[in-house]
Amino acid sequence: MQKIAPFLYATGLHLSLVLVLVLGGTASIAHAQESPYIVAYDHYLEEPGSLELEYFSTFGTQRDGNDYHAFWGEIEYGATAWWTTELYVEGQTTFNDSTIFTGFRFENRIRPLQREHFINPILYFEYEEISGADKILKEDEGHDVEADHAVPNALARREHNHELEFKLLLSKTFKGWNIAENTLAAKNLTGGNPWEFGYAIGASRPLALKASAQRCSFCRENFVAGVEMYGGLGDRHSFGLHDTSHYVAPVVAWNLPSDWTLRLSPGFGLNDNSHRFLLRWGVSREFSGFGDMIARLFGSHKP
């Protein structure tokens, strides 16, 4: 399995490219207006009927072990204006060790309120089926620390986690600034583990608030910059900041008129339990009309 993992990963990437090409021919492309956050969530959901394909990478330094490159692919679909559903597939390469598939996640975000309010809540539910070798750091929870990632892949992958995760996403946009706060509670269904807690906060703003009269790639309004911070808050038996890791990460997104969004985020560990440095980047493309395309495939709508 270890030997064929890179092959499976490459095959997965090829399949993703084929999917992008097929969708490019059948669904129209929507201009992305994406937030720059990689860990935090704001309160904006995917537009109904739109599909977004995303790829993210995280390079992490590792004390007492090998540095690593963790990656995930994400399929995000706007089922309705109040419900977005996502599927993640993830893996990692630990240098001088191996490349392995580490599992999948299935996530749903639901908007309970009809209109914009002073603070806008979103309810988040996720089911994860991941191995102990997962290193994507999509969230930081409980007593997760850097040393957890020093375990060799062959050993770490033997641990299988089936986890339920709930988040309350709070967000507000005012005068171009978005402020987001996420609180999470997670329960590993295997082995009688306690509830674990974590947080993420973020602030971001486009570099310009007015749109230019002409379409352009390098206009300031296409860039959104900000910062996010995230970390663990212990578990039910030992709630608090001791033995937890925390990160702060400047973030920037470039929303291209050619329908792609690029994100870049260097992250810095804030205590000795954290990785010293994380470099994250991502690329995504949104396809509107995906729901219509599926409906046409099954003949429920006539063009």
Interacting residues toward other proteins by CB under 8 A? 28, 30-31, 33, 35, 42, 44-45, 47-49, 77-83, 85, 87, 106, 108, 111, 114-116, 127, 129, 162, 164, 173, 175-176, 178, 189-191, 206, 209-215, 221, 257, 288-292, 294-295, 300-301
* Smaller CB separation from other proteins, 11 or 190: 190
Q: Smaller CB distance to other proteins: residue 2 or 190?
A: 190
Go through 132-143 and write b for each residue having 16 or more CB atoms within 10 A of its CB, e for each that does not: bbbbbbbbbbbb
* Cβ proximity to other proteins, 210 vs 237, nearer residue: 210
Residue number with CB closer to other proteins (79 or 203): 79
Question: Phi and psi dihedrals of 200, rounded to 5?
Answer: -150, 135
Q: How far is the CB of 211 from other proteins (least distance, A)?
A: 4
**Cα angle for residues 119, 116, 108 (degrees, 5° grid):** 80
Residue 80 CB, nearest approach to other proteins (Å): 5
DSSP at 239: B
Q: Name the minimum Å distance from CB 171 to other proteins.
A: 10
- Contact of 253 with 222, CB cutoff 8 Å: no
Shortest separation between residue 58's beta carbon and other proteins, angstroms: 25
Closer to other proteins by CB, 63 or 215: give it: 215
Report residue 144 as tokens: 């997760």
Q: What is the DSSP letter of 216?
A: -
- 189 within 8 A of 163, measured Cβ to Cβ: yes
